[in-house]
Amino acid sequence: PIAAPPGGLDQEPHVDGARLLLGIAELAEIGALPTGGITRLAFTPEEDRARAYLMERARRADLRARVDEAGNVVIRRRDAEPGMPALLMGSHMDTVVKGGRLDGAYGVLAALEVLTVLAERDEPLGLEPVAIAFTNEEAGLFPYPFFGSRGVAGTLDPSLRYSSRDGTNLRPVLARAGGDLSRIRDAAWARGSIGAYLEAHIEQGPYLERAGIPVGVVTTITGRVTFDLRIQGRSSHAGTTPMDDRADALVAASHAVLAVEDLARSGECAVATVGQVESHPDQINVIPGNVRLAGEIRDLSGDRLTAAQAALARVADEIGGRYRVRVRVRTTGRVEPVPTTDVLRQVVRDAARELGLATMDLPSGAGHDAQVVAEIAPIGMVFVPSRAGISHAPEEDTDPEQLVTGADVLLRAALELCRR
Ligand code: HGY
Ligand code: MN
Ligand code: MN
Ligand code: MN
């Protein structure tokens, strides 16, 4: 018997699942670590190779690819209609340190696959489909999260000196990648030039898998505040300094870590994490004199984020007094929570329904380029389940069939939007 194609016997196009999965597997080799996982930080040779790979794949599909001034790869149909508003689809190719193969990469390759299918047809479209790979979403090396999508939204300042955590100037690094910091404003898309932005992404959390539902419709993308907490105590001999005479910065920092956790546990915000600790002088027989903690708080409400920021400042004061150390908190970044656009949620739901797939509405606890593009265009997001809800780790995974299904939903949604 001949099996019905996924989605029934309709005449609508489907993505080429094998082509999509091959792309995901090949991209995953770039930055792969011998011990498992992938480190492909933005503005490193690994990300350069990922750009080259993606552009080569686009050329093989007879598409046109270029690197914009911000370092994003932008891919269009060869006969793209100039001046027609775009249906922009994409995500990022950079990873966290020791990350997985799907966060970002899936959305980029799904976008390329959808664009490839649309370009292969000769149906006239009302929006010009464009795929994009944003740079530096994760900000693993250069501390400017969403650098690429901010370039597209036009919110990068060309007069700033952008540099990495270890002081490397971004200008020549971006030039090597094909961008141009002096002309970064040219990466911006005019308001109205993007009719809709769609991003497919793995959920990175456990809810779809738990519910046994293959497609998530994102409602709101979380807001996030990152902070730096510096504690200055007094270094001294670990054997001779009486316990009552100490100003141990690491003991104070330990309390601070727990206090940050408690911000979320007590309901002040949704989640709160200290992810980085630096202790100086980092010697076994010396009382730590200086500690730097870096962390973040997230919530779906901007007001609650603001309240949690204030609570963090109070906690810092309190710890300073209790341990006789100096504590300074500095906000290093803030991204507002952003709802997706109603009509695009419905387009994604309808696309899934046509394919016979159940959907679930859910918020995103991870940040996405979509929330930055939202400043200039309507946005929608398609989630697929994450195995065991794990992400930002080598174990990050999704059933291949669900990856293909998610791309098919993206294609259906794209067709619906391009036909309006
Ligand atoms: O951490 C985040 O949520 C973002 O994807 N980098
Ligand atoms: Mn991520
Ligand atoms: Mn991501
Ligand atoms: Mn000694």
Q: How far is CA 5 from the centre of its chain?
A: 32
- Measured from the Cα of 96, ligand 1's closest atom is 6
- From 40, 102, 224, give the residue whose CB has the most ligand 1 atoms within 8 Å, as the site to mutate: 224
Do 257 and 138 share a domain, yes or no?
no
Do 46 and 163 share a domain, yes or no?
yes
Residue closest to 213 by CA, chosen among 346, 106, 357: 357
What residues are paired with 287 via a beta bridge?
Answer: 236
Which-ligand-closest: CA of 138? Answer: 1
CB 160 within 8 Å of CB 127: no
The CA-to-CA distance between both ends of the chain, in Å, stands at 37
Q: How far is CA 359 from the centre of its chain?
A: 22
CB 100 within 8 Å of CB 391: yes
Of 335, 350, 371, which closes a domain? 335
* Torsion angle in degrees (nearest 10) through CA of 388, 390, 394, 396: 70
Q: Kindly state if the Cβ of 138 falls inside 6 Å of ligand 1.
A: yes
Which-ligand-closest: CA of 134? Answer: 3
Query: Which phi and psi angles does 344 have, rounded to 5°?
Result: -75, -30
∠ CA 210-215-219, nearest 5°, is 95
> Strand pairing of 86-92 and 194-202?
parallel
Do 210 and 84 share a domain, yes or no?
yes
- Residue ranges of alpha helices (H) inside 178-239 are 207-211
Q: Kindly state if the Cβ of 385 falls inside 6 Å of ligand 1.
A: no
pLDDT per residue over 254-293, tens digit each?
999 999 999 999 999 999 999 999 999 999 999 999 999 9
- Residue ranges of alpha helices (H) inside 61-178 are 105-120, 147-153, 170-177
Q: Kindly state if the Cβ of 366 falls inside 6 Å of ligand 1.
A: yes
* Residue with tokens 């697929």, as numbered in its chain: 384
Asked if the structure places residue 67 within a domain, the reply is: yes
| 262: its two tokens | 């408690």
> Strand pairing of 379-384 and 215-221?
antiparallel
Of 300, 320, 335, which closes a domain? 335
- Ligand 1 centroid distance, CA of 365 (Å): 8
Asked if the structure places residue 10 within a domain, the reply is: no
Q: What is the DSSP letter of 75?
A: E
Residue closest to 264 by CA, chosen among 292, 302, 229, 305: 305
Q: How far apart are CA 302 and CA 308, in angstroms?
A: 10
- From 201, 273, 300, 392, give the residue whose CB has the most ligand 1 atoms within 8 Å, as the site to mutate: 392
Q: How far apart are CA 301 and CA 223, in angstroms?
A: 7
Supply the Cα-derived Rg of the chain in whole angstroms. Answer: 23
Hey, whose CA ends up nearest to atom 4 of ligand 1?
367
pLDDT tens track, the chain, 420 positions:
555 555 555 689 999 999 999 999 999 999 999 999 999 999 999 999 999 999 999 999 999 999 999 999 999 999 998 899 999 999 999 999 999 999 999 999 999 999 999 999 989 999 999 999 999 999 999 999 999 999 999 999 999 999 998 999 999 999 999 999 999 999 999 999 999 999 999 999 999 999 999 999 999 999 999 999 999 999 999 999 999 999 999 999 999 999 999 999 999 999 999 999 999 999 999 999 999 999 999 999 999 999 999 999 999 999 999 999 999 999 999 999 999 999 999 999 999 999 999 999 999 999 999 999 999 999 999 999 999 999 999 999 999 999 999 999 999 999 999 998
Q: How many residues does the chain have?
A: 420
Hey, whose CA ends up nearest to atom 5 of ligand 1?
367
- Measured from the Cα of 222, ligand 1's closest atom is 3
Q: Kindly state if the Cβ of 369 falls inside 6 Å of ligand 1.
A: no
Q: What is the DSSP string of 6-64?
A: TT-S-S-----HHHHHHHHHHHTTTTB-TTSSB---TTSHHHHHHHHHHHHHHHHTTEE
Domain span at residue 284 reads 223-335
Of 309, 335, 361, which closes a domain? 335
Q: What is the CATH number of the domain that holds 276?
A: 3.30.70.360
- Ligand 1 centroid distance, CA of 296 (Å): 11
∠ CA 136-201-217, nearest 5°, is 135
Residue 98 CA: distances (Å) to CA of 142, 294, 407: 16, 19, 25
Asked if the structure places residue 402 within a domain, the reply is: yes
Q: How far is CA 161 from the centre of its chain?
A: 23
Asked if the structure places residue 139 within a domain, the reply is: yes
Q: What is the CATH number of the domain that holds 215?
A: 3.40.630.10
- Ligand 2 centroid distance, CA of 96 (Å): 6
Q: How far apart are CA 410 and CA 109, in angstroms?
A: 11
Do 316 and 394 share a domain, yes or no?
no
Which-ligand-closest: CA of 202? Answer: 3
Do 167 and 110 share a domain, yes or no?
yes
- Ligand 1 centroid distance, CA of 311 (Å): 23
Asked if the structure places residue 2 within a domain, the reply is: no
Q: How far apart are CA 96 and CA 391, in angstroms?
A: 10
Q: What is the ipTM of this complex?
A: 0.91
Q: How far is CA 121 from the centre of its chain?
A: 31
- Ligand 4 centroid distance, CA of 287 (Å): 13
Asked if the structure places residue 176 within a domain, the reply is: yes
Judged by phi (left if over 0) then psi (alpha if -120 to 50, else beta), residue 401 lies in: alpha
Hey, whose CA ends up nearest to atom 6 of ligand 1?
138
Cβ neighbours, 10 Å, residue 290: 20
Do 300 and 391 share a domain, yes or no?
no
Do 167 and 34 share a domain, yes or no?
yes
Tally of domains in the chain:
2
Do 217 and 109 share a domain, yes or no?
yes
Do 105 and 140 share a domain, yes or no?
yes
- Ligand 1 centroid distance, CA of 190 (Å): 26
Do 168 and 231 share a domain, yes or no?
no
Q: How far apart are CA 279 and CA 201, in angstroms?
A: 36
CB 250 within 8 Å of CB 279: yes
Do 313 and 373 share a domain, yes or no?
no
Q: How far apart are CA 173 and CA 180, in angstroms?
A: 9
- Ligand 2 centroid distance, CA of 120 (Å): 31
- Ligand 3 centroid distance, CA of 369 (Å): 8
- Measured from the Cα of 139, ligand 1's closest atom is 6
Q: Kindly state if the Cβ of 268 falls inside 6 Å of ligand 1.
A: no
Which-ligand-closest: CA of 104? Answer: 3
pLDDT per residue over 53-89, tens digit each?
999 999 999 999 999 999 999 999 999 988 999 999 9
Do 200 and 70 share a domain, yes or no?
yes
pTM: 0.93
Asked if the structure places residue 11 within a domain, the reply is: no
Asked if the structure places residue 12 within a domain, the reply is: no
Residue closest to 205 by CA, chosen among 289, 270, 136: 270
